[in-house]
Chain A
Amino acid sequence: NAGVTQTPKFRVLKTGQSMTLLCAQDMNHEYMYWYRQDPGMGLRLIHYSVGEGTTAKGEVPDGYNVSRLKKQNFLLGLESAAPSQTSVYFCASSESPLTWGEQFFGPGTRLTVL
């Protein structure tokens, strides 16, 4: 099993450009999450999904959109990138919070917005 994979690993954007980050998991997990990691701030939740076709806002959702069209994929979109969105983005999945299993994290995507 590959676990949680993220595409791409690195990306440089210019202000105003758009892009989509792809997260894929092969563990048949219901729940998926997008976090961003900034120095000195830990990880903060952007959006999450509790199943195929569902999405919800996390702590810092502004400037991002997400979609969960397939259970195994969770996409994070930036419609008009800003320098403040320079960060490392992590995707995670979990079987079900009801069983309080661990969240499995992807390797991260390092995004720089110039």
Chain B
Amino acid sequence: AQKVTQAQTEISVVEKEDVTLDCVYETRDTTYYLFWYKQPPSGELVFLIRRNSFDEQNEISGRYSWNFQKSTSSFNFTITASQVVDSAVYFCALSEANAGGTSYGKLTFGQGTILTVHP
């Protein structure tokens, strides 16, 4: 069975600090997808990134960057120069794609990391 672990329950930083959110996953499949979602205080879920298991290139989008390492089964998320608006719960999620195509895109979520950025 697949599993996603976000060991950091809560992180508190001061504005402009860099912060890394950890995500470790378990899966027996060779083909899978990893996601990060943001849940701001308003409650909606905002898609941030999708990465497939064959693409280990790191990705940068503005102040956000993601480090995918298959060797350690990790997909970590870094926010550079954090801002108060980054305060939210961040979820890492995994979706398997087995040969029969029967995973149907079901997401397995980690427990979430609550990030608080203080002014």
Interface residues of A, Cβ cutoff 8 Å to B: 31, 33, 35, 40-45, 48, 50, 56, 58-59, 88, 90, 92, 94, 96-98, 100, 102-105, 107-108
Q: Is B97 an interface residue (CB 8 A)?
A: yes
Distance between B89 CB and nearest chain A CB, rounded to angstroms: 9
Pick from B4, B43, B101: contact of A98, CB under 8 Å: B101
Which of B35, B43, B91, B106 contacts A42 (CB under 8 A)? B91
Q: How far is the CB of B60 from chain A (nearest CB, A)?
A: 19
Q: Are B105 and A31 in contact (CB under 8 A)?
A: yes
A43 and B105 within 8 A (CB): no
Q: Can you list 25 A-B contacts (CB < 8 A)? A: A31-B105, A33-B107, A40-B112, A42-B112, A43-B93, A44-B109, A45-B106, A45-B107, A48-B104, A48-B106, A50-B104, A58-B106, A59-B108, A88-B43, A92-B45, A96-B105, A97-B101, A100-B33, A100-B50, A102-B35, A103-B107, A105-B37, A105-B44, A107-B44, A108-B44
Q: How far is the CA of A100 from the CA of B93 in the complex (A)?
A: 13
Chain B interface residue count, Cβ-Cβ cutoff 8 angstroms: 27
